Copies of this chain bind each other. A is one copy, B any other.
Amino acid sequence: MRLESNLGTTVIEQDVKHTPRNNWHQWLIGRPLQTADAPHQTIGKTVGLAVFASDALSSTAYATQEIMMILAIAGSGTLGYVFPISIVIVLLMAIVTISYQQTIHAYPGGGGAYIVARDNLGELPAQTAGAALLTDYILTVAVSISAGIAQITSAFPNLYPFRVEIAVAMVFMIMLVNLRGVKESGIAFAIPTYFFVISMVLTVGVGFFRFLTGSLGTVVNPPAFSVEGAVGMVTPFLLLHAFASGTAALTGIEAISNGITAFKEPRSKNAGITLVWMSGILGTLFLGISFLSGKIASVPSEAETIISQLARTVYGGEGFLYLALIAGTAVILIMAANTAFADFPRLGALHAGDGFLPRQLTFRGSRLVYSRGIVALAVIASLLIVAFQASVTRLIPLYAIGVFLSFTLSQAGMARRWWKSGHLKPDEQIVEPGSIVKYDKNWKVKLIINGLGMVSTFIVMIVFAVTKFMDGAWIIIVLVPILVTIFFTIHHHYKSLAKNLSLDNYNTPMRVSHNRVVLLIAGVHRGTLVALAYARSLSADVTAVHVSIDPLESQKVVDKWNAYGEGTRLVVLDSPYRLFIEPLMAFIEALLKNRQPTEVLTIVVPQFVTPHWWENLLHNQTALMLRFALLFKQGLVILEVPYNV
């Protein structure tokens, strides 16, 4: 590092490289990485799919079942609508994927809803999108972990009483993996993700083969319907409600667009290809599951999942392949939480960098990850899991609404961007913080694609909010505006702070014309005299102050001061009510009132330092109490002069 300097200031550069000590912290999350190591921590497409796709892919484990659960309200005869609804959802998925494909190429530095909305729509939509996404990431962790644990406790019912503890332990395990850094966590998560994909592809493939050869059959001993109405009436509202439930399949699809910078160069291309892979796998599996589940006459039930019914029908029993799929499903659900751990801290750092969240979130920890965001996510998600007792049923209505809100804002931003792009001259460009807008001759097509995405995701959001309002969606509808308000309050603080601290219009240099020093003395001993020596080195104007609670003791202090005080003036404050802080405060406040603008008052407190911490309990913590009482008044400095006993 080389720093430039002019002659007015001496710049001394130290070359000490402080390697942090090898301690438990390092043992837990790995050796520290230098800032210069940052660019190496990127990932390829294969690992990228594992890191970012688990959230999206894991939704195949429950999306079909959610559609059936709603349809079953009107009776089992309505289940034939599952496949058509699934096709609509996959269509929506395709629209969203193409929209995000455009985003990824337009924003190679990371094109999450937050950035796109910020650059194209303004601060309020951006903060709204960010609040929605941050909320959703927390829910992703809580829901996915809870769902994964539910799978495990279905297999091992005696673990059920410990589900909350296990879930929280899982959250903190994933937190540790992420504190180590994204590359290593990618490797750690690749194996289970691919294990799930292969198991699921195999199940669906074998299922189709058996369907085509006519040997598939139906579910043996199906569970009872959890909900079964007898109305038999299919209303448009019911279909929309079922459709809304199924759109849970789309959660997580935006993950890659937020995390483009984690990819190897060429980032946009790699990220875009990974997105296509992911959507392809997701759509295929979802459609396959929805199709086959109808053919085998499976039953939506809390007792046995659709995946389980499908697998044992396809494999003709509960053998090795059945167990592999169930295990893979449980694991992918837990892994899905990892997606949120990859994105939440990045988005938090973006907010913080723009001054809408505490600046500390921009700090990268010893492993170059946003450790504070990772820890914050783990803590909040754990609280949520504890509060909702790891119940997926109670968490799920809060989920997905945030995602669709951010989808809508993101697409709106992109549409706005193409509009701007279409109105530029071929050689013009607009430089925005997140990307550069140039003229694009296909702007109309792209505008239509993103506009379509915006309209469809907006409709889905409204449908979701209306149909699930009472079940819990209201919490998010209330929470997002509150978060946005908090974000703007924080932003206001940083802006007014910067204004107050700014050196613009800074004319006369600040100076201290006079330093009035007050030395507090409880007794006269070596510690007092060290403090006196220090006080006298600061200023010629030193006043010793003694609060008198016991007249006899005070007379001793005065006598000793006469002998050792080197002529320093002494003020004795009489305290008939045996108070200490109050008379002192009144004295100090009187001095502050008469203070000149360039005068400073310095309070010097002698402090003896004991060799053991517990010995401090044997003394009045005067300095501490005083510090608390005076808490940083303008023109007042408090300091302790230590004396080692």
Seen from chain A, the residues whose Cβ lies within 8 Å of a Cβ on chain B are: 1, 3-6, 8-20, 32-36, 358-360, 363-366, 490, 493-494, 496-497, 500-503, 506, 509-512, 515, 523-527, 529-530, 532-534, 536-539, 548-551, 554-555, 558-579, 582-583, 586-587, 600, 602, 607-610, 615, 617-620, 631-634, 636-645
In the bound complex, do residue A510 and residue B533 qualify as a contact, i.e. CB atoms below 8 Å apart? Answer: yes
Known contacts A13-B574, A506-B526; 20 additional CB pairs below 8 A are: A1-B548, A3-B558, A8-B563, A11-B558, A14-B583, A16-B583, A20-B582, A358-B617, A359-B618, A359-B619, A493-B610, A501-B645, A503-B524, A503-B560, A510-B526, A511-B533, A537-B600, A609-B631, A609-B634, A637-B642
User: What's the Cα separation between A600 and B561 when bound, in Å?
Assistant: 23
User: What's the Cα separation between A609 and B632 when bound, in Å?
Assistant: 7
Contact of A4 among B359, B548, B559 (CB under 8 A): B559
A–B Cβ pairs within 8 angstroms, 13 of them: A1-B551, A9-B561, A11-B558, A14-B572, A14-B574, A18-B582, A18-B583, A358-B617, A366-B577, A366-B579, A497-B610, A609-B632, A638-B639
- For A364, list chain B residues within 8 Å (CB): 578
Min C-beta distance of A34 to chain B, whole Å: 4
In the bound complex, do residue A537 and residue B512 qualify as a contact, i.e. CB atoms below 8 Å apart? Answer: yes
In the bound complex, do residue B636 and residue A35 qualify as a contact, i.e. CB atoms below 8 Å apart? Answer: no
In the bound complex, do residue A579 and residue B9 qualify as a contact, i.e. CB atoms below 8 Å apart? Answer: no
Q: How many copies does the complex hold?
A: 2
In the bound complex, do residue A35 and residue B529 qualify as a contact, i.e. CB atoms below 8 Å apart? Answer: no
User: What's the Cα separation between A621 and B6 when bound, in Å?
Assistant: 32
Chain B residue at minimal CB-CB distance from A515: B537
Min C-beta distance of A474 to chain B, whole Å: 27
- For A620, list chain B residues within 8 Å (CB): 359-360
User: What's the Cα separation between A427 and B502 when bound, in Å?
Assistant: 84
In the bound complex, do residue A567 and residue B8 qualify as a contact, i.e. CB atoms below 8 Å apart? Answer: yes
Min C-beta distance of A60 to chain B, whole Å: 40
In the bound complex, do residue A12 and residue B555 qualify as a contact, i.e. CB atoms below 8 Å apart? Answer: no
Chain B residue at minimal CB-CB distance from A364: B578
In order of increasing CB-CB distance, the 7 nearest A-B pairs are A501-B525, A512-B537, A632-B642, A639-B639, A10-B569, A609-B632, A34-B576
Contact of A493 among B8, B511, B618, B638 (CB under 8 A): B618
